[in-house]
């Protein structure tokens, strides 16, 4: 099975712009979660989508949003970028079972100038 | 609320020596516990998990972890460390009232010297 894929792998944007990141989960996985990783804050949960519905949400401002499509692919959008949004954004997928493992993609490195 | 703590920012060990990375958790009900490893500029790789049953869990690359309910701990261990084990290790918990949501620890940097 192919693993979790994320595109693009690297992205450079300027303050005030918006960005969309994409995640394709492992085939058969219906849950997709997004995380932000920074050196100072560590790994922080953004949100989780399951069957096109947001099931869980972390403590991030409304500038961070996401969605999931019927084929389980997911996108996250960050509007009005700030310098502090520079981070590695990780996507993870899993099945419906809460005992199941989350499998991570390689991440998208976002740099905001 | 669930939480997980990794008390050590960094663990230094000589190659060939035993490696232990500590993790404690707090969750109401039965926890599901996971260990992941991250190499530079890569995503997290799954190592092992505890769901139920035997307290000693064996995982990838010779790693194992012991679930201790009374001490609410889930320490990661490897009998003989390799230089290639140098990486960032994360403990995670899932359970309690936040089904579906993983809570990750801050991570522990492991440095294995030749």
Q: What is residue B100's predicted lDDT score, i.e. its pLDDT?
A: 61
A45 and B42 within 8 Å at the Cβ level: the answer is: no
CB A92 within 8 A of CB A48: no
For chain A, say whether B49 makes contact (Cβ under 8 Å).
yes
Residues in chain B with CB shorter than 8 Å from the CB of A99 are 32, 49, 51
- pLDDT(A65) > 80: yes
Choose the closest CB to B44 out of A45, A55, A90. Answer: A90
How far, in whole angstroms, is CA A104 from its chain's centroid? Answer: 10
B residues 71-100 closer than 8 Å to A (CB): 90, 94-95, 98-100
Model pLDDT for residues A21-36, shown as the tens digit of each residue: 999 999 999 999 999 9
How does residue A96 score in pLDDT terms, banded at 50, 70 and 90?
confident
Q: Quote the CA–CA distance of A27 and A24 in Å, as a whole number.
A: 9
Position B97 scores a pLDDT of 55
Q: What is the mean pLDDT of residues A82-95?
A: 95
pLDDT confidence of residue A107 = 96
């Amino acid at each position: 099975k192919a693993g979790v894929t994320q595109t693009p792998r690297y992205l450079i944007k300027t303050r005030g712009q918006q960005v969309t990141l994409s995640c394709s989960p492992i085939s058969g996985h219906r849950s997709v979660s997004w995380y932000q990783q920074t050196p100072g804050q560590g790994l922080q949960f953004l949100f989780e989508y399951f069957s096109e519905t947001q099931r869980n949400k972390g403590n991030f401002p409304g500038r961070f949003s996401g969605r999931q499509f019927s084929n389980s692919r997911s996108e996250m959008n960050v509007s009005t970028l700030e310098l502090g949004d520079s981070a590695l954004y990780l996507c993870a997928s899993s099945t419906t079972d809460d005992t199941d493992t989350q499998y991570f993609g390689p991440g998208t490195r976002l740099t905001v100038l | 609320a669930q939480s997980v703590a990794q008390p050590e920012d960094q663990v230094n060990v000589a190659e060939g020596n035993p490696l232990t990375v500590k993790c404690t958790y707090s969750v109401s009900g039965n926890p599901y516990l996971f260990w992941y490893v991250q190499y530079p500029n890569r995503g997290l790789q799954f190592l092992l998990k505890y769901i139920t049953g035997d307290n000693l869990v064996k995982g990838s690359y010779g790693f194992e972890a012991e679930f201790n309910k009374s001490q609410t701990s889930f320490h990661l261990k490897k009998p003989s460390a390799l230089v290639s084990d140098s990486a960032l290790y994360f403990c995670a918990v899932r359970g309690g009232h936040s089904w579906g949501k993983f809570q990750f620890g801050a991570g522990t940097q492991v440095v294995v010297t030749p």
